[in-house]
Chains A and B, each alone.
Chain A
Amino acid sequence: MASEAVVERRSAGHRLADLFHGRPRLQAGALLAGPVGWLVIGYLGSLAVLLIAAFWTVSPLSGELTRGLSLENFETLVNEPVYRDIIWRTIRIAALVTVTDAILAFPIAFYMAKVASRRGKAILVVAVLLPLWSSYLVKVYAWRTLLSAGGIVNWALEPLGLHGPGFGITAVWLVMSYLWLPYMILPIYAGLERIPDSLISASEDLGASPLTTFRRVILPLVFPAVVAGSIFTFSLTLGDFITPRLVSNSQFIGTVVFNNFVTNLPLASALALVPIIVMIAYLLVARRLGAFEHI
């Protein structure tokens, strides 16, 4: 009989599937083993090791690591004012860049999502994404030339009697706002797209002005997407050290971590804990605000 034949000759694949059948948690477990194993052991494990390294010290000449339990590095970070200045400066610029990008990104994203034709949308999406493919380093170097004393920015502002910012912390803010802008445009665009036009029409039919519609309908719905974009702008600024090095003399958290990485790994690790703590806090808040659906 046909069914008997089928039961007898179940393939290995079938038998394996039978093992999982009716055992959803085993299924979930098997699915998760790979990714979770990789992330927890490989990634979290590495972070944990870094955390431990923050408690070590280093011999001045040979640089040999003394593994132990010392709070020396944390004391240095707390007592020396320069580290507090650097941390505060990094966080300040990260916040500034995030706000700047949100403001710059919104009109473009809004136009792409709600105003542009199908073809216009395609062109704009490609136009916004394309800069991500040109090398980060080349872009920063281009900005260096733009901002230099004989560069385009000064040349353009001269007839107005103005002066470009030159190199410095302003330049860092400007360049980073530039670099991370696409990371803010895309989530906002996706978020705005998800708002059906009918909701907006309904608001207008009920008599709301465009500004009110924006404030009370669009903004609350797109806010999680803005937060999602801000995760990237904030964290990318928080850890960057190449841009500050190329367009300013300012030291960021990443600068000091990088400089101390080989000669004083424990101090570098201790300092690296700061952005970890800041970002975890940021992520927890972002998750609460619903941003994780919008990345």
Chain B
Amino acid sequence: MRLSRRAALLLRLAVAVGLAFIYVPLIVIAIYAFNASNILKWPPPGLTLDWFPKAIENEFAREAFLTSLKAGLAATAIALLLGTLASLAVARHRFFGRETISFLVILPIALPGIVTGVALNNTFTQVLGVELSLFTVIVGHATFCIVVVYNNVVARLRRVSTSFEEASADLGAHAWQTFRFVTLPGMRSALGAGALLAFALSFDEIIVTTFTLGAGEETLPIWIFRNLFRPNQLPIVNAVAVIVVLISIVPVYLAHRLTREEGGAAGARGGKAVEAEATAVP
């Protein structure tokens, strides 16, 4: 697109301001991770490197991190399974209530977390008489993570023509073989991107988690919540936040590579198929 010099400059300025807006608070967090005092004053009275080793040594923080990992992986696995099943049904079949499925799947993530949390808590403790635990957390997380996998996979399946699958069937493969050798490889990047996003959602989730977690365990956000109110733990919390952000650069970059691979970047490929699709839109 041809932009005038002034427009291009304004655009760059807007982007710079936007990025500054996004990153200034994160820089503040990073600065406070080196804060020498327990009290959050500005400017911080002194700087120290102590908090990072303390954060790593803190066994509650480590346990919370591992619990979050476990919950995230389990929730993502369930979301992958259910999301794939649902998207296969929707993209490849016609049936009564097909349009409703998209609506149903998006509901858990579109309804506010407190509604989901209160509803699930109520069901677990009052109706089913089940004790809250990491399992109930995983159930809660998986429920709202289904949609991210579903949407990615459905979008992918819609773009890939069914002719490959039909050819595979014609050659004698049964449904499972076709799925395993033809459909699945084509969906891999969509599954990967969906899984990473689902994991991210679960990892930082706090509201639903508050209502579905048992007393014995804590996820990382819950640990942070607990320790934000202990003045002498505040800097450790900031250090932990910084460490998590740094660690997550790798998976985030991977996620981007995966989505690019699947051809989401119409601009990059400018393929004819995509153009045809776009002109058919309105």
Contacts and interface: CB of A to CB of B under 8 A. Distances in A.
A242 B11 CA distance: 34
A136 B118 contact: no
A122 interface: yes
A150 B45 CA distance: 13
A118 B265 CA distance: 10
Contacts of A32: 85-86, 89, 101
A295 B151 contact: yes
Interface residues of B, number: 106
A134 B122 contact: no
Contact of B241 (A16, A122, A135, A272): A135
B219 to A, nearest CB: 11
Q: Which of B18, B26, B110 has the most CB of A within 10 A?
A: B110
Contacts of A108: 14-15, 18-19
B29 A139 contact: yes
B118 A269 contact: yes
Interface in A104-145: 104-105, 107-108, 110-111, 113-115, 118, 121-122, 125-139, 141-145
A107 B81 contact: no
Contacts of A137: 206, 221, 224-225, 228
A242 B32 contact: no
A133 B203 contact: yes
Contacts of B107: 39, 43-44, 280, 283
A161 interface: no
Contacts of A210: 1-4, 7
A253 B15 CA distance: 34
Contacts of A232: 109-110
Taking chain B's interface residues, is the majority helix, strand, or loop, or is none over half, making it mixed? helix
A151 B204 CA distance: 26
Interface stretch (A17-25, A70-78, A81-89, A165-173): A17-25
A59 interface: no
Interface in B220-243: 220-221, 224-225, 228, 237-238, 240-242
B224 A28 contact: no
B161 interface: no
Contacts of B88: 31
A280 B244 CA distance: 35
A38 B206 CA distance: 22
B96 to A, nearest CB: 9
B174 A13 contact: yes
Contacts of A261: 118
A135 B204 contact: yes
B22 A128 contact: yes
A126 B254 CA distance: 9
Residue from B4, B18, B25 having most chain A Cβ neighbours under 10 A: B25
B28 A146 contact: yes
A63 interface: no
A282 B103 CA distance: 11
Nearest to B265: A193
B69 interface: no
Contacts of A190: 264
A34 B241 contact: no
A264 to B, nearest CB: 12
Contacts of A249: none
Contacts of B18: 104-105, 107-108, 181
Interface string B9-22: 00110110011011
B266 A196 contact: yes
Interface string A212-248: 0100000011000000000110011011111000000
Interface in B188-238: 200, 203-204, 206-207, 220-221, 224-225, 228, 237-238
A45 to B, nearest CB: 7
A35 interface: yes
A31 B86 contact: yes
Interface string B125-148: 011000000000001001100110
Given A138-B228, A269-B118, 8 more contacts: A32-B89, A39-B105, A126-B249, A128-B22, A133-B200, A148-B42, A221-B282, A272-B118
Interface of B: 1-4, 7-8, 11-12, 14-15, 18-19, 21-26, 28-29, 32, 40-42, 81-83, 85-86, 88-89, 93-95, 101-116, 118-120, 122-123, 126-127, 139, 142-143, 146-147, 150-151, 155, 174-177, 200, 203-204, 206-207, 220-221, 224-225, 228, 237-238, 240-242, 244-245, 248-249, 252-253, 255-257, 260, 264-268, 270, 274-275, 278-279, 281-282
Interface of A: 13-14, 16-18, 20-21, 24-25, 27-29, 31-32, 34-36, 38-40, 42-47, 49-50, 53, 104-105, 107-108, 110-111, 113-115, 118, 121-122, 125-139, 141-146, 148, 150-152, 155, 178, 181-182, 190, 193-201, 204, 210, 213, 220-221, 231-232, 235-236, 238-242, 253-254, 257-258, 261, 265, 268-269, 272, 275-276, 279-280, 282-283, 287, 292-293, 295
16 contacts: A21-B175, A44-B107, A107-B18, A108-B14, A131-B23, A134-B29, A135-B224, A136-B206, A136-B221, A137-B221, A145-B28, A150-B41, A204-B1, A232-B109, A258-B114, A283-B110
The 4 closest A-B pairs by CB, nearest first: A239-B112, A17-B174, A107-B14, A31-B89
